[in-house]
Structure 1
Amino acid sequence: MAHYPLNHHLRQTYRFLVGLAGLYLTLFGVIGLATTWGDEFFHRGSDWVLGLRTNPAAAWIYTIIGVLLLLAVLAGGNVYHHVALVLGWGLCGLGVAVMAFIQTDANVLNVSMINVIVTIVLGLVTLTGALYGKVGGHEAARAEETAAHDAR
Protein backbone atom coordinates (compact mmCIF):
# COMPACT_ATOMS: atom_id res chain seq x y z
CA MET A 1 0.00 0.00 0.00
CA ALA A 2 1.28 3.47 -0.87
CA HIS A 3 2.25 5.76 1.95
CA TYR A 4 1.11 9.33 1.49
CA PRO A 5 2.03 11.52 4.45
CA LEU A 6 -0.95 13.12 6.15
CA ASN A 7 -0.88 16.82 7.05
CA HIS A 8 2.68 17.32 5.82
CA HIS A 9 4.07 20.63 7.06
CA LEU A 10 5.08 21.73 3.52
CA ARG A 11 1.80 20.84 1.83
CA GLN A 12 0.83 24.51 1.34
CA THR A 13 4.18 25.21 -0.34
CA TYR A 14 3.71 22.28 -2.70
CA ARG A 15 0.12 23.35 -3.36
CA PHE A 16 1.37 26.82 -4.29
CA LEU A 17 3.87 25.32 -6.76
CA VAL A 18 1.14 23.16 -8.29
CA GLY A 19 -0.99 26.31 -8.56
CA LEU A 20 1.83 28.00 -10.48
CA ALA A 21 2.04 25.00 -12.80
CA GLY A 22 -1.72 25.17 -13.37
CA LEU A 23 -1.51 28.91 -14.00
CA TYR A 24 1.25 28.41 -16.58
CA LEU A 25 -0.73 25.68 -18.36
CA THR A 26 -3.86 27.84 -18.38
CA LEU A 27 -2.02 30.91 -19.66
CA PHE A 28 -0.27 28.87 -22.33
CA GLY A 29 -3.58 27.42 -23.45
CA VAL A 30 -5.53 30.68 -23.47
CA ILE A 31 -2.79 32.66 -25.23
CA GLY A 32 -2.35 29.72 -27.61
CA LEU A 33 -6.05 29.82 -28.44
CA ALA A 34 -5.86 33.56 -29.11
CA THR A 35 -2.74 33.16 -31.26
CA THR A 36 -4.05 30.26 -33.34
CA TRP A 37 -7.65 31.49 -33.63
CA GLY A 38 -8.92 30.69 -37.12
CA ASP A 39 -6.31 28.01 -37.84
CA GLU A 40 -7.29 24.42 -38.51
CA PHE A 41 -7.69 22.38 -35.31
CA PHE A 42 -4.61 20.24 -35.98
CA HIS A 43 -2.63 22.98 -37.76
CA ARG A 44 1.10 22.23 -38.07
CA GLY A 45 2.39 25.81 -38.36
CA SER A 46 5.11 27.65 -36.50
CA ASP A 47 3.07 29.25 -33.72
CA TRP A 48 5.01 29.72 -30.48
CA VAL A 49 3.50 30.79 -27.15
CA LEU A 50 5.41 31.18 -23.87
CA GLY A 51 8.33 29.27 -25.35
CA LEU A 52 6.28 26.30 -26.58
CA ARG A 53 4.89 25.35 -29.98
CA THR A 54 1.14 25.17 -30.22
CA ASN A 55 -1.94 24.71 -32.34
CA PRO A 56 -5.64 24.91 -31.42
CA ALA A 57 -5.78 21.24 -30.33
CA ALA A 58 -2.81 21.60 -27.97
CA ALA A 59 -4.11 24.93 -26.69
CA TRP A 60 -7.47 23.40 -25.78
CA ILE A 61 -5.88 20.40 -24.06
CA TYR A 62 -3.52 22.54 -21.96
CA THR A 63 -6.28 25.02 -21.12
CA ILE A 64 -8.55 22.26 -19.83
CA ILE A 65 -5.76 20.61 -17.83
CA GLY A 66 -4.65 23.96 -16.39
CA VAL A 67 -8.16 24.98 -15.36
CA LEU A 68 -8.80 21.59 -13.74
CA LEU A 69 -5.53 21.91 -11.85
CA LEU A 70 -6.36 25.43 -10.67
CA LEU A 71 -9.81 24.33 -9.53
CA ALA A 72 -8.28 21.44 -7.60
CA VAL A 73 -5.75 23.75 -5.93
CA LEU A 74 -8.54 26.13 -4.95
CA ALA A 75 -10.66 23.26 -3.60
CA GLY A 76 -7.78 21.95 -1.50
CA GLY A 77 -7.96 18.99 0.83
CA ASN A 78 -8.12 15.47 -0.45
CA VAL A 79 -9.90 16.61 -3.62
CA TYR A 80 -6.71 18.44 -4.53
CA HIS A 81 -4.64 15.40 -3.57
CA HIS A 82 -6.56 13.01 -5.84
CA VAL A 83 -7.04 15.36 -8.81
CA ALA A 84 -3.40 16.46 -8.77
CA LEU A 85 -2.26 12.83 -8.59
CA VAL A 86 -4.27 11.94 -11.70
CA LEU A 87 -3.29 15.09 -13.62
CA GLY A 88 0.38 14.73 -12.63
CA TRP A 89 0.53 11.20 -14.01
CA GLY A 90 -1.53 12.35 -17.00
CA LEU A 91 0.88 15.16 -17.84
CA CYS A 92 3.87 12.83 -17.58
CA GLY A 93 2.10 10.32 -19.81
CA LEU A 94 1.12 13.00 -22.31
CA GLY A 95 4.73 14.18 -22.50
CA VAL A 96 6.03 10.70 -23.17
CA ALA A 97 3.24 9.92 -25.66
CA VAL A 98 3.75 13.02 -27.81
CA MET A 99 7.51 12.49 -27.77
CA ALA A 100 6.98 9.32 -29.78
CA PHE A 101 5.37 11.34 -32.60
CA ILE A 102 7.51 14.48 -32.82
CA GLN A 103 9.17 13.76 -36.17
CA THR A 104 6.14 12.09 -37.78
CA ASP A 105 2.92 13.09 -39.49
CA ALA A 106 1.12 11.93 -36.34
CA ASN A 107 2.35 15.05 -34.48
CA VAL A 108 -1.19 16.42 -34.35
CA LEU A 109 -0.45 18.65 -31.33
CA ASN A 110 2.41 20.39 -33.18
CA VAL A 111 4.86 19.78 -30.31
CA SER A 112 8.62 20.07 -30.18
CA MET A 113 11.06 18.57 -27.69
CA ILE A 114 10.79 21.63 -25.44
CA ASN A 115 7.04 20.95 -25.15
CA VAL A 116 7.83 17.41 -24.04
CA ILE A 117 10.35 18.56 -21.43
CA VAL A 118 8.07 21.28 -20.02
CA THR A 119 5.07 18.94 -19.92
CA ILE A 120 6.99 16.24 -18.06
CA VAL A 121 8.53 18.74 -15.61
CA LEU A 122 5.12 20.29 -14.87
CA GLY A 123 3.71 16.78 -14.48
CA LEU A 124 6.43 15.90 -11.97
CA VAL A 125 5.84 19.14 -10.03
CA THR A 126 2.12 18.37 -9.94
CA LEU A 127 2.72 14.77 -8.93
CA THR A 128 5.13 15.76 -6.15
CA GLY A 129 2.68 18.34 -4.85
CA ALA A 130 -0.08 15.74 -4.87
CA LEU A 131 1.99 13.24 -2.91
CA TYR A 132 2.31 15.68 -0.02
CA GLY A 133 -1.21 17.10 -0.26
CA LYS A 134 -3.21 14.49 1.63
CA VAL A 135 -4.98 15.75 4.74
CA GLY A 136 -6.60 13.93 7.64
CA GLY A 137 -7.50 14.21 11.29
CA HIS A 138 -4.95 14.18 14.09
CA GLU A 139 -5.77 10.58 15.02
CA ALA A 140 -5.32 9.37 11.42
CA ALA A 141 -2.07 11.34 11.07
CA ARG A 142 -0.70 9.86 14.29
CA ALA A 143 -1.66 6.32 13.19
CA GLU A 144 -0.09 6.89 9.77
CA GLU A 145 3.11 8.20 11.35
CA THR A 146 3.29 5.18 13.65
CA ALA A 147 2.71 2.78 10.76
CA ALA A 148 5.33 4.50 8.59
CA HIS A 149 8.04 4.36 11.24
CA ASP A 150 7.16 1.00 12.76
CA ALA A 151 10.32 -1.15 12.83
CA ARG A 152 9.14 -4.58 11.68
Structure 2
Amino acid sequence: MSGGSLDYLFQDVREVKRRARLDEDEAELLEGIAQLLHDLEWSLSGDYASHQYRQTLSEFAGTWDGGYKESNRSVLIPQSDGWQCDNHQWVRGGMTVSEGKMVTVWKCTDCPAWTRQFHGRQYEVDYKEAGEPGADR
Protein backbone atom coordinates (compact mmCIF):
# COMPACT_ATOMS: atom_id res chain seq x y z
CA MET A 1 0.00 0.00 0.00
CA SER A 2 2.99 2.36 0.46
CA GLY A 3 1.94 3.99 3.70
CA GLY A 4 -1.05 6.23 4.18
CA SER A 5 -2.41 4.72 7.36
CA LEU A 6 -1.29 7.81 9.32
CA ASP A 7 -2.00 10.28 6.49
CA TYR A 8 1.74 10.65 5.87
CA LEU A 9 2.22 12.51 9.17
CA PHE A 10 6.00 12.10 8.87
CA GLN A 11 5.92 14.57 5.95
CA ASP A 12 4.38 17.22 8.21
CA VAL A 13 7.21 16.74 10.72
CA ARG A 14 9.78 17.11 7.93
CA GLU A 15 8.05 20.29 6.77
CA VAL A 16 8.21 21.73 10.29
CA LYS A 17 11.90 20.81 10.38
CA ARG A 18 12.45 22.59 7.07
CA ARG A 19 10.67 25.80 8.15
CA ALA A 20 11.74 26.11 11.78
CA ARG A 21 14.90 27.75 13.05
CA LEU A 22 16.56 24.76 14.67
CA ASP A 23 20.01 23.98 15.89
CA GLU A 24 21.71 20.88 14.53
CA ASP A 25 20.54 18.57 17.33
CA GLU A 26 16.94 19.82 17.15
CA ALA A 27 16.89 19.25 13.39
CA GLU A 28 18.36 15.79 13.82
CA LEU A 29 15.80 14.99 16.53
CA LEU A 30 12.90 16.00 14.27
CA GLU A 31 14.32 13.94 11.42
CA GLY A 32 14.51 10.95 13.78
CA ILE A 33 10.89 11.47 14.80
CA ALA A 34 9.87 11.75 11.14
CA GLN A 35 11.69 8.49 10.36
CA LEU A 36 9.94 6.78 13.29
CA LEU A 37 6.56 7.96 12.02
CA HIS A 38 7.44 6.87 8.48
CA ASP A 39 8.46 3.38 9.53
CA LEU A 40 5.45 3.03 11.85
CA GLU A 41 3.11 4.08 9.05
CA TRP A 42 4.70 1.69 6.57
CA SER A 43 4.49 -1.10 9.18
CA LEU A 44 0.81 -0.38 9.89
CA SER A 45 0.14 -0.32 6.15
CA GLY A 46 1.78 -3.72 5.68
CA ASP A 47 4.72 -2.40 3.65
CA TYR A 48 7.31 -3.06 6.37
CA ALA A 49 7.61 -6.00 8.70
CA SER A 50 7.00 -5.01 12.32
CA HIS A 51 10.64 -5.79 13.20
CA GLN A 52 11.76 -2.99 10.84
CA TYR A 53 9.82 -0.39 12.85
CA ARG A 54 11.05 -1.86 16.14
CA GLN A 55 14.64 -1.62 14.86
CA THR A 56 14.17 2.08 14.00
CA LEU A 57 12.56 2.68 17.39
CA SER A 58 15.43 0.94 19.18
CA GLU A 59 18.02 3.01 17.30
CA PHE A 60 16.12 6.23 18.02
CA ALA A 61 15.75 5.45 21.73
CA GLY A 62 19.44 4.59 22.00
CA THR A 63 20.47 7.83 20.33
CA TRP A 64 17.99 10.20 21.99
CA ASP A 65 17.62 8.78 25.49
CA GLY A 66 16.26 11.56 27.72
CA GLY A 67 15.74 13.96 24.81
CA TYR A 68 19.43 14.61 24.22
CA LYS A 69 21.70 12.95 21.77
CA GLU A 70 23.89 10.40 23.56
CA SER A 71 27.09 12.11 22.40
CA ASN A 72 25.99 15.46 23.92
CA ARG A 73 24.33 14.30 27.11
CA SER A 74 27.25 15.04 29.43
CA VAL A 75 27.38 18.61 28.14
CA LEU A 76 23.65 19.32 28.26
CA ILE A 77 22.72 17.60 31.51
CA PRO A 78 24.52 18.88 34.62
CA GLN A 79 26.58 16.31 36.45
CA SER A 80 27.34 18.38 39.56
CA ASP A 81 26.33 21.51 41.48
CA GLY A 82 27.26 24.91 40.10
CA TRP A 83 25.93 24.30 36.59
CA GLN A 84 23.59 27.27 36.42
CA CYS A 85 24.63 30.60 34.98
CA ASP A 86 24.25 33.77 37.06
CA ASN A 87 21.82 35.61 34.78
CA HIS A 88 19.45 33.42 32.78
CA GLN A 89 18.57 34.53 29.25
CA TRP A 90 15.21 32.89 28.60
CA VAL A 91 13.90 31.85 25.19
CA ARG A 92 10.68 30.00 24.49
CA GLY A 93 11.35 26.33 23.99
CA GLY A 94 7.83 25.40 22.95
CA MET A 95 4.36 24.71 24.24
CA THR A 96 2.78 21.54 25.58
CA VAL A 97 0.08 20.31 27.92
CA SER A 98 1.10 19.33 31.43
CA GLU A 99 -1.17 18.40 34.31
CA GLY A 100 -4.12 19.17 32.02
CA LYS A 101 -3.01 22.78 31.46
CA MET A 102 -1.38 24.59 28.55
CA VAL A 103 2.27 25.23 29.37
CA THR A 104 5.01 27.32 27.78
CA VAL A 105 8.46 25.85 28.33
CA TRP A 106 11.30 28.37 28.63
CA LYS A 107 14.98 27.43 28.37
CA CYS A 108 18.11 29.38 29.19
CA THR A 109 20.39 30.14 26.25
CA ASP A 110 23.51 29.94 28.44
CA CYS A 111 22.96 26.87 30.62
CA PRO A 112 20.73 23.78 30.84
CA ALA A 113 18.16 25.49 33.10
CA TRP A 114 14.51 25.48 32.07
CA THR A 115 11.17 26.44 33.58
CA ARG A 116 7.45 26.15 32.85
CA GLN A 117 4.78 28.83 32.62
CA PHE A 118 1.28 27.48 33.19
CA HIS A 119 -1.57 29.30 31.44
CA GLY A 120 -4.81 29.54 33.35
CA ARG A 121 -8.22 28.80 31.88
CA GLN A 122 -9.13 32.50 32.22
CA TYR A 123 -6.99 33.15 29.11
CA GLU A 124 -8.52 30.41 27.00
CA VAL A 125 -10.68 31.49 24.06
CA ASP A 126 -13.27 29.11 22.67
CA TYR A 127 -12.14 27.87 19.27
CA LYS A 128 -15.44 28.81 17.60
CA GLU A 129 -15.18 32.36 18.96
CA ALA A 130 -11.52 32.70 17.99
CA GLY A 131 -12.23 32.45 14.28
CA GLU A 132 -10.03 30.88 11.66
CA PRO A 133 -6.29 31.15 12.58
CA GLY A 134 -4.62 33.73 10.36
CA ALA A 135 -7.92 35.16 9.10
CA ASP A 136 -8.34 38.93 8.95
CA ARG A 137 -10.64 40.34 11.59
Give me the TM-score of the superposition, normalised by structure 1: 0.31
Structure having greater relative contact order (Cα 8 Å, sep ≥ 6): 1
Give the structure with the higher percent helix.
Answer: 1
Give the structure with the higher percent strand.
Answer: 2
Give me the TM-score of the superposition, normalised by structure 2: 0.33
Bigger CA radius of gyration: 2
